Amino acid sequence: MSTEENKVVYTAKDFKSDQEVRWCPGCGDHAILSSVQRTMAQLGIRREKYAVISGIGCSSRFPYYMATYGFHGIHGRAAAISTGVKTANPDLSVWTITGDGDALAIGGNHLIHVVRRNVDINLLLFNNRIYGLTKGQYSPTSVKGQVTKTSPYGTVEPPFNPGELVIGAKGKFFARTIDGDIKLSVEVFTEAAKHEGTSVVEILQNCVIYNNGAYADITDREHKEDRQIVLRDGEPMIFGKNRDKGLMLDGMQLKVVKIGENGITEKDILVHDSKVNNPGLHMMLVNMKWPSHPVAVGVIRNVAAPTYDTAVHVQIDKIKEQSPIKNMTDLLHSGNTWVVK
Amino acid sequence: MSTEENKVVYTAKDFKSDQEVRWCPGCGDHAILSSVQRTMAQLGIRREKYAVISGIGCSSRFPYYMATYGFHGIHGRAAAISTGVKTANPDLSVWTITGDGDALAIGGNHLIHVVRRNVDINLLLFNNRIYGLTKGQYSPTSVKGQVTKTSPYGTVEPPFNPGELVIGAKGKFFARTIDGDIKLSVEVFTEAAKHEGTSVVEILQNCVIYNNGAYADITDREHKEDRQIVLRDGEPMIFGKNRDKGLMLDGMQLKVVKIGENGITEKDILVHDSKVNNPGLHMMLVNMKWPSHPVAVGVIRNVAAPTYDTAVHVQIDKIKEQSPIKNMTDLLHSGNTWVVK
Amino acid sequence: MTKKRELIELDDVVIRFSGDSGDGMQLTGTLFSNTAALLGNDIATFPDYPAEIRAPQGTVGGVSGFQVHIGHSDIRTPGDLADVLVAMNPAALKANARWLKPGATIIYDRDNFTPKNIQKAGYKEDPIAEDRLQDFNIIPAPITSLTKEALKDMGLDMKTVLRSKNMFALGMIYWLFNRPLKYTEEFFQQKFKRKPEVVEANEKVLKAGYYYAETIEALHSTYVVKPAKIEKGVYRNINGNTATAWGLIAAAERAGLQLFVGSYPITPATGILEELALRKDLGVITVQAEDEIAGITTSIGASFAGLMAATTTSGPGLALKSEALGLAVITELPLVVVDVQRGGPSTGLPTKTEQSDLMQVLWGRNGESPVAVVAASTPANCFYYAFEAGRLALEHMTPVVLMTDGFLANGTEPFRVPDIEKMPEIKPPIVPEGTEDYMPYKRDPGTLVRGWAIPGTPGLEHRIGGLEKDENTGNVSYDPANHEKMTHIRAEKVAKIVEDIPEQKIEGEQEGDLLLVGWGSTYGHLVSAMEELKAEGKKVGLAHFNYINPLPANTDEVLGKFKKILVCELNLGQFANYLRMNYPKYEYHKLNKIQGLPFTVVEIKDEAKKLLEE
Amino acid sequence: MTKKRELIELDDVVIRFSGDSGDGMQLTGTLFSNTAALLGNDIATFPDYPAEIRAPQGTVGGVSGFQVHIGHSDIRTPGDLADVLVAMNPAALKANARWLKPGATIIYDRDNFTPKNIQKAGYKEDPIAEDRLQDFNIIPAPITSLTKEALKDMGLDMKTVLRSKNMFALGMIYWLFNRPLKYTEEFFQQKFKRKPEVVEANEKVLKAGYYYAETIEALHSTYVVKPAKIEKGVYRNINGNTATAWGLIAAAERAGLQLFVGSYPITPATGILEELALRKDLGVITVQAEDEIAGITTSIGASFAGLMAATTTSGPGLALKSEALGLAVITELPLVVVDVQRGGPSTGLPTKTEQSDLMQVLWGRNGESPVAVVAASTPANCFYYAFEAGRLALEHMTPVVLMTDGFLANGTEPFRVPDIEKMPEIKPPIVPEGTEDYMPYKRDPGTLVRGWAIPGTPGLEHRIGGLEKDENTGNVSYDPANHEKMTHIRAEKVAKIVEDIPEQKIEGEQEGDLLLVGWGSTYGHLVSAMEELKAEGKKVGLAHFNYINPLPANTDEVLGKFKKILVCELNLGQFANYLRMNYPKYEYHKLNKIQGLPFTVVEIKDEAKKLLEE
Ligand SMILES: Cc1ncc(C[n+]2csc(CCOP(=O)(O)OP(=O)(O)O)c2C)c(N)n1
Ligand SMILES: Cc1ncc(C[n+]2csc(CCOP(=O)(O)OP(=O)(O)O)c2C)c(N)n1
Ligand code: SF4
Ligand code: SF4
Ligand SMILES: [Mg+2]
Ligand SMILES: [Mg+2]
């Protein structure tokens, strides 16, 4: 969305609805709500142009808490409803709110298709690796072996990696952030909003009730700098509390190296480029897992491509111009007709 | 499927049912039917162990023509029905027949989930880049701009590449073949059958009626050797009528080189390895498009991993052994009960 | 039809073109009907083809037929039995022999009546004898060989040559019915603009057939069917799917809104989507979604965004849309859902017609989830009921299901082109910018319709969704009393549409012995049967329903005017059950047919007479 | 309840535990009912909680309640009004004040009745006065502070401390009803095996509450409710979801088949899947599918492969399964579909109960697509009707829908453990290896049931699918007459199940003035109402239906035995409409409630009396 006409000055408060927020105390969703409200306040888009669309799940209650236009859909269909909204009116800034169950279980098909078509929406995937609203069953991102209410002896299926799936579906924008990291989230959401096309943002979200600590190993204060790497365009892939670790390419593999050791200097470290179309490196970056690698956050992939909603309207405008049929009356009288007198 | 007990000798004819084959004369499906029948005859699996499951589409009429157990399902659900059949009885050799619409439009979600779970089925995706049965609408693999009955002015959406999507969904086996190339098809189907887990085979299939010649540029006799590359494990990636072209890696890109030019010898050419888990190179291979590259056929990816159906039964067996509850009566009397006298 | 060699005037005639799926019978039939229509005949057509793209050649299962009924007075049905049959092979004869009038004319391609083909069709030896057709007017024409002959100098490949056989047959029929070739020739010239050799070949064969018919002895007479005495106006031939598409576009135009259609192809509904996809010139947005669920949910999204939204499908697709349809019910968004019914259950008989989705349409959703339902009854009035569905949806803020079926979808009839400006203007309750105290679920007290606030309008920001909502504010509410109240409001809102639809009319006798009752596509057959019975002096009326939910206000009264009621439908009695549920005091006799085929007029008359005599 | 300080014997008592979602009221209620059950009381429970995981603290919307009814004679419902209310905060009082018997005992946590909380709950000042509760037996207990006090030496964090408040309340109730603490203590010991400090804390607080109640003046008396006079046997407490899961397992065991359940979580059905997932020890295969469609289609696949297959869901999920259910109909495969109904339409009131899916279950599919339908009527008999659904599916080769609802799913009652060996053996028509002339659609002429040939069996290879099939051979057939025949066969096959189900019984008067009619979960309230009316001398009977399609053979006869019929259901009258469709000659009066709540006995009695007096 790039509708920046009629700039107005907002604060995050302007995006808060009058409805009481009903998530559990301590749920990661609270922080995400706050990040989204801050982002929207800064984008310079008028409030009435925002449409926030969701499916069903704890996360999908989101629209009720926003003072924008909002639609709480049905389970799994957030991306499809959003496709309708955006294609109907490309002038709206459409934000799709969905969970790991909503987007990747029942809604998996709509997700891969919205990504393939490259509809210009911003899709925030709240990944808590559990079904929150239905009280704790495993989801397609639950780690293998996870014990949940429907896997009392541990799951036997490997999880999706949302970024990998999105890139496999021809995704042009993928970013990752963490619920509690409001600064990073605002940065990433802003980039998502600026990107024209489907921007998928995976948010590592903690469900305090049914999957508490799912990301503790990489988010706890003590270790996060050593276990996360924030990717920013043009910057070398360096991380660590002492910023002494970096990523290099070793054949077809990403390798963690120590700067200063074995003659490695900052210059040897890969520099992030989210804009290359070739998905090879982006795929490796989304696939990095701790402990072998740091987990990548930030905007991992951000490639320009035509959007579906624009293409649909461009085609309509072109045909409209070319066709002699301008209204229903023309159509009714076109082709083979005869007159009875 | 590795059930090779009770070996019997079959010919392809043993797999032909008594039903008249109703595809259009010249349809690529005829050749595929023949390849499957030949493959099954050679696998050494007893006929009653085969279950051929399909969705809806021209291709999905397939089970009717097979003398095995067969199930013509509903549109898009072939992979899900197959998951049920195989998980219920892992002893069956399950073959899933599906089209580009069936598997990638309405059935997209089941496809990515069967692949993620790695259910041990062989899924043959008849990709004619069109909806045949409903008489010629575009599909998720139709090329951008394709004029069809529902895109009279050309489509505006980019197609999926099935291999890319499958790998993004954590796919462990992906192969590609061409309807008319029976030799290659039998080879590839045999590998698919041997692979334990979800084997996805994309078959480039010509629909003579609604999308004739969709693959003519790479399949016509004159050019096919220059425009296809057959990948086989351990063999260098060499192609061309004169076997003088090959593939090399140039940074993160695959490059076509001429052997003998610029000092390039056969030794410099990449050697195919379908068994490496890292999807990087496989992803590039499935993505190759003519004219910049040859189109890859053969078994592109073939990585061993635990299968869902086995894991389900292993877990059940383990819990059965551990639990004191052996039947319904035990269960009814377990835990908190009291006696009324 | 008699056997004199002269020009005979007929009131109406039924012709059936029939051959292998690859023989081009659909095109042949269409060209003939277009010519007839352009000459001012009233017509009705009925294509009937197998589910396979190309079913096995030469077998009965692979036969594709196209029946056309032309006349100079009201033509209501494609006709029960044919006066003329064109059979391109033995299987075509086999499949159609029992649908012929006694003494009908049969033109067949004798080149194709080889022993092998005869056997393939399931005959033992002589087809004519086996089907007891000796007394019919049999014309064995060497269609294939004469077609080859006609094109022998053009240097065309054999496939192309054989493909134009159907034009030979068409030429013969044109001669037989005294029709000019020019409209068909114009069609070739336009269609194959860039392939002059194809134009030439088709014209050659068409003429060869025409002259052959003129020459041979076998054709004892030619016929004229005078133009119909029909209302003045501009006409065009139209099928139900196109009419549906156009009706939706017209509704959008009269509402001043852009049309959005999210859909997924499915037989026999696909034609609507295909026609709409062509209409980008009228600003129609079509999204060919990934599945039916995305079809309806993209449309719901578009409706939320303020467009006129529709989704089109057939029975199995409607089943998939059920859950989302409930979302449109509770969010009270306007939405037209078109269900082009086909034979069920499950995949069933996908290319055949049936009326067995009624219950699904009325109740196939979880919870108390009322929708308005209308049904078209002729190919051309699909236009008006699609328009009407759009009007009701937009003005009453509710999903409306429009029911048609395979018979209407593919059948054609002349359509008197309406004056769009005279069609009602549609006024959706759009909430204007600057409205004070806007509440998403505040209603018009008369109609119970809520306002429609369009995203993008400053000051009307609001949230809706699938959870139960508080009266007026629309906030989520778990209050038990509110839920009961809202449930009643939703039901009443739809029930109140009764005030916005016409009363049910009775055709034929206004009271008397027997009321025929029908709905949807059976109209033509029912009205013909009623008229014939009336002509025979029976006190019979017809109440044919287009408004299904709510039923017209005077339904009870209408049903009460006759001694007996016979509900005729192409299912096991769903509408009869529905009427019984609503008006239990009447006895409903039932005539049901579930063969994937329309009624014949005779079937209805027979059943009616039986009842009258009881 | 009177105010003497002594031991008073009661026939039955209704206790309602009520607090914030986070206050652990569900556990408290469950522990109390388990203790009561183990002491031999008859019980019925009803949990009632908000849709949010943790709704906003302190508001009425966030109140979670658990009602338990214990007694020494037949307890059929969780009770209309409570004798004792435990209110952990002002919102809990507010939410429940109108559900109290006059003079009931109210125990509340006075520490939580702060001005802020009082206001949050929507009271102005004094809750007791505002709700006119002055004459009630009010016990303001300092629950929070005494809990803190009890645990002050244990060094626990405040969150853990506060989390055990509910045990203080439970302790008070145990004292009030003379119950031993030991069962609850045993529960702690088992549940927190590895956290001895948690066991200790809970026990401490439980005892603190017990002794506090003993000490204070406010409790004028303690009560005993003697063990119920119920049938001999082994009992356990069970809720409807667990009973359903077990019934399915039992059916599989009696059929000698492995159980396969493909499902997708959805409130309030998830508990069935969760219970089945635990039962790997009995070989149950559960596939948590990617969505409801995969849930049912994996199950259809498993059924094709020869297992006993089931799928479990609630209304919106059933909507999604509609298309695939039609596939099971036409392929005539055994399949149990469990629909645990909840408030609709759309997402509606997901945690509340309702009976509004009946029409969807009967007809929510394209085409003529009949399924058998049974409904459970108490939490415990979910076991028998799940078993019965399995039996009918397997023996009649048809999908069977079992209907329960949120009230049954979460409600509990004592379940007399059956002797599995005495339950009917289930004999599916599996085709044995070596059968000559096997044809997939050959039927038993009596039941019209086809044979089930299991993949893997040599010589029985065959193909089935969703297209219409030829009689006997099962090959694809487009023949019109065959389609009509098969449509009738499918309908008749399901109709013939009537011969395999019991007749409808009437409870209470066998004929007379008023027949109460109900189905499904309303049984407890209806039978109580009927008994009370009978006790008042009214000639009232009850016909409560568990078999919905087909209806029992004697239904017509049953309906005919009373002057008036009152159909009571938690929807707008779906079963009444269904009866009217089938037996139009009766007048059906209706009592409908659609508040997400069960009936109260009083509501039914009032309506019945009105009708009796008319
Ligand atoms: C059709 C349908 N199926 C199932 C459900 C039940 N359901 C509601 S939310 C949910 C999953 C929620 O998980 P997720 O999307 O990860 O969201 P979270 O609650 O974790 O934020 C399910 C299964 C439903 N509401 N509708
Ligand atoms: C629920 C449902 N939706 C739509 C259809 C109509 N339909 C049948 S096959 C098909 C697409 C076929 O395309 P593909 O899967 O590519 O198979 P092909 O015919 O090309 O082999 C469609 C849309 C259907 N049968 N059922
Ligand atoms: S259950 Fe989990 S995801 Fe849902 S609101 Fe509570 S903490 Fe958040
Ligand atoms: S329509 Fe196309 S895909 Fe279908 S049978 Fe004919 S050639 Fe094959
Ligand atoms: Mg989640
Ligand atoms: Mg296709």
User: How many whole angstroms separate alpha carbon A67 and alpha carbon D87?
Assistant: 35
Range with lowest mean pLDDT among A40-44, A48-52, B38-42, D179-183:
D179-183
* Pick from D323, D491, D594: CB nearest C368: D594
Nearest to C345 among D319, D366, D488 (CB): D366
Coil vs helix vs strand at C433:
coil
pLDDT tens column, C20-50: 988 889 999 999 998 888 888 888 998 887 7
Where do we find the tokens 């006090």?
Answer: D149
Other beta carbons within 10 angstroms of residue B305's beta carbon come to 16
Contact status, residue B268 vs residue B296, Cβ threshold 8 Å: no
* Digit-coded pLDDT (tens) for D23-65: 889 999 999 998 888 888 889 998 888 777 677 788 888 898 9
Interface test mutation site (partner A, options D23, D159, D264, D275, max chain A beta carbons within 10 A): D264
Cα distance between residue B156 and residue B136, in whole Å: 17
pLDDT band for position D408 (cuts 50, 70, 90): very high
- Of residues C308 and D212, more confidence is placed in C308
CA-wise closest residue to C395 among C455, C450, C433: C450
Q: Is the pLDDT of residue D236 over 70?
A: yes
CATH superfamily of D6-225: Pyruvate-ferredoxin oxidoreductase, PFOR, domain III (3.40.920.10)
B205 pLDDT more than 70? yes
Min mean pLDDT across A266-275, A285-294, C573-582, D105-114 is at D105-114
Mutation test residue for ligand 3: of D21, D54, D57, the one with most atoms within 8 Å of CB: D54
> Residue D125: exposed, middle, or buried by beta-carbon count in 10 A (0-12, 13-18, 19+)?
exposed
Average pLDDT over residues C175-201: 89
With left for phi above 0 and alpha for psi between -120 and 50, is residue C512 left, alpha or beta?
Answer: left
Q: Are residues C265 and C236 in contact, defined by beta-carbon separation less than 8 angstroms?
A: no
A102 pocket-lining for ligand 1 (C-beta < 6 Å): yes
CA-nearest of C79, C76, C81, C17 to C49 is C17
| Nearest residue in B to A104, CA atom | B109
Q: Top-level CATH class of C507-613?
A: alpha beta
A214 ligand 3 Cβ < 6 A:
no
Is C277 an 8 Å CB contact of chain B?
yes
Closest CA to B36 of B9, B12, B68, B10: B12
B264 lines ligand 4 (CB under 6 A): no
> Measured from the CB, is residue A181 less than 6 Å from ligand 1?
no
| N-terminal to C-terminal alpha carbon distance within chain D | 35
Per CB-CB distance under 8 Å, the chain B contacts of C286 are: 150
Which residue in D38, D231, D297 is closest to B338 by CB distance?
D38
CA distance readout (Å), B105 to A114, B76, B156, C292, D494: 12, 8, 16, 10, 35
Residue D142, pLDDT above cutoff 70 = yes
Q: How far apart are CA A168 and CA B167, in angstroms?
A: 7
Of C310, C323, C314, whose CA–CA distance to C248 is shortest? C310
Which of A93, A316, A325 to mutate: most C Cβ within 10 Å?
A316
Nearest-angstrom CA–CA distance, C25 and C3: 27
Ligand with minimal distance to C22 CA: 4
Query: Tokens in use for C495?
Result: 């029930």
What average pLDDT does chain B have?
Answer: 96
What integer pLDDT is reported at residue C98 of this predicted model?
A: 87
d(C-alpha B152, C-alpha A323), whole Å: 13
Please name each of the domains of chain A with its CATH number: 3-214 (3.40.50.970)
Q: What is the C-alpha separation between D336 and D312, in angstroms, rounded?
A: 8
- Residue B102, C-beta contacts closer than 8 angstroms, at least 6 positions apart: B54, B55, B56, B57, B59, B60, B75, B76, B78
Residue of D nearest to C480 (CA): D595
| Chain-chain contact of B336 with D293 (C-beta, under 8 angstroms) | no
- What is the number of residues in chain C? 614
Atom of ligand 1 nearest to the CA of A139: 16
Task: State the pLDDT at residue A7.
Answer: 56
Q: What's CA C12's distance to the chain center, in Å? A: 22
Q: Cβ contact (<8 Å) for B77 and D324?
A: yes
Residue whose CA is closest, atom 13 of ligand 2? B131
Question: How many CB atoms are closer than 10 A to CB C74?
Answer: 15
| Pocket of ligand 1 contains residue A75 by CB under 6 Å | yes
Q: What percent of chain D has pLDDT over 70?
A: 98
Confidence grade of residue B1 (pLDDT, cut at 50, 70, 90): very low
Answer whether A23 contacts ligand 1 (Cβ < 6 A). Answer: no
Q: Would you state the pLDDT for residue B2?
A: 42
Q: Identify the pLDDT of residue C1.
A: 34
pLDDT given for residue A1 in this prediction:
40
- Ligand 2 first shell, C-beta below 6 A: B 56-59, 75, 99-102, 126, 128, 130-134, 139; C 264-266, 292, 316-317, 320; D 323
- Report the neighbours of D using a cutoff of 3 or more CB pairs below 8 angstroms: A, B, C
Lowest mean pLDDT among B263-277, C282-296, C559-573, D23-37: D23-37
The CATH 3.40.920.10 domain(s) of chain C lie at 6-225
User: How confident is the model at residue B7, as a pLDDT?
Assistant: 56
- The verdict on the CB of residue A138 being under 6 Å from ligand 1 is no
Q: How far is D286 from chain A (nearest CA, A)?
A: 9
Strand partners, C341: C405
Query: Is B59 in contact with B98 (CB distance < 8 Å)?
Result: yes
**Helix (H/G/I), strand (E/B), else coil: B149:** coil
Query: Which residues neighbour B120 within 8 Å (Cβ) at sequence distance 6 or greater?
Result: B1, B86, B90, B94, B196, B197, B198, B307, B308, B309, B310
CB pairs under 8 A between A and B: 101
Pocket test for ligand 4, best of C49, C52, C54 (most atoms within 8 A of CB): C54
The answer, yes or no, to whether residue D612 has pLDDT greater than 60, is: yes
Percent of chain C with pLDDT over 90: 76
Q: Where in chain D is the domain with CATH 3.40.50.970?
A: 236-422
pTM: predicted TM-score of the whole model, two decimal places = 0.94
Which residues in chain D touch residue A26, judged by CB atoms under 8 angstroms apart?
A: none
- pLDDT for res D220: 65
DSSP secondary-structure letter at B60? G
Ligand 1, atom 1, lies closest to the CA of D317
In a mutational test of the pocket of ligand 2, which residue from B21, B22, B24, B56 has the highest number of ligand atoms less than 8 Å from its CB? B56
Between D139 and D55, where is the model more confident?
D139
Token pair for A64: 């009720």
> What atom in ligand 4 is closest to the CA of residue B26?
7
Cα separations (Å) of C264 from B171, C246, D24? 28, 18, 48
> What is the ipTM score, two decimals?
0.95
Contact check, Cβ <8 Å, A106/D288: no
Q: Which of C431, C353, C467 is nearest to C46 (CA)?
A: C353
* Residue A341, pLDDT above cutoff 90: no
Contact C469, C330 (CB under 8 A): yes
Q: How far is A84 from chain C (nearest CA, A)?
A: 4
Atom 5, ligand 3: residue with shortest CA distance: A23
- Strands, sheet with B337-340, edge to edge from the N-terminal-most edge strand: B337-340, D233-239, D412-416
Mutate to test the pocket of ligand 2, among C266, C314, C320, C349 (most ligand atoms within 8 A of CB): C266
d(CA C122, CA C110): 17
Res D10: pLDDT? 79
Quote the pLDDT of residue C218: 58
What secondary structure does DSSP assign to D475-504, as a single string? -B---HHHHHHHHHHHHHHHHGGGGGSPPP
Question: Which amino acid residue places its CA nearest to atom 7 of ligand 2?
Answer: C266
Backbone angles phi, psi at B256, to 5 degrees: -90, 130
Tokens of B194: 């041997």
Q: For residue A332, give how far its alpha carbon lies from the nearest alpha carbon of chain C (Å).
A: 6
Burial class (CB in 10 A: 0-12, 13-18, 19+), C419: exposed
Nearest atom of ligand 4 to the alpha carbon of B57: 4
**DSSP category for residue A323:** -
Residue type (1 letter), B159: P
- Is A75 in contact with D316 (Cβ distance < 8 A)? yes
Beta bridge partners of D106: D85, D138
As a whole number, mean pLDDT of residues D309-320 equals 98
Distance from CA of C86 to the nearest CA of D (A): 21
Check CB contact under 8 Å for C298 and A64. no
What class, spelled out in words, does domain C236-422 have in CATH? alpha beta
**C2: confidence class by pLDDT, cuts 50, 70, 90:** very low
Q: Which long-range contacts (C-beta less than 8 Å, at least 24 apart) are formed by D193-197?
A: D197/D154, D197/D156
Instruction: List the shell of residues around ion ligand 6, using CB closer than 5 Å.
Output: B 99-100, 128
Test the C interface: residue of A83, A112, A115 with most C CBs within 10 Å: A83
Region at D144 (left for phi over 0; alpha for psi -120 to 50; beta for the rest)? alpha
CA D112 → CA C50, C554, D55, D126, D236, distances in Å? Answer: 74, 61, 17, 13, 36
Greatest Cα pair distance, chain D, in angstroms, is 85
Q: What is the pLDDT of residues C214-254, one digit of tens each?
A: 888 656 667 778 777 778 899 999 999 999 999 999 999 99
Ligand 1 atom nearest residue A131's Cα? 13
| DSSP H stretches of helix in D73-157 | 90-96, 115-120, 127-130, 143-151
At residue D1, the pLDDT reads 34
The CB of D265 under 6 Å from ligand 1? The reply is yes
Class of residue D558 by CB neighbours under 10 A (exposed 0-12, middle 13-18, buried 19+): buried
Question: How far is A7 from D82, CA to CA, in rounded Å?
Answer: 59
Measured in angstroms, how far is the CA atom of residue B30 from the centroid of ligand 4? Answer: 10
Q: How confident is the model at residue C506 (pLDDT cuts 50, 70, 90)?
A: very high
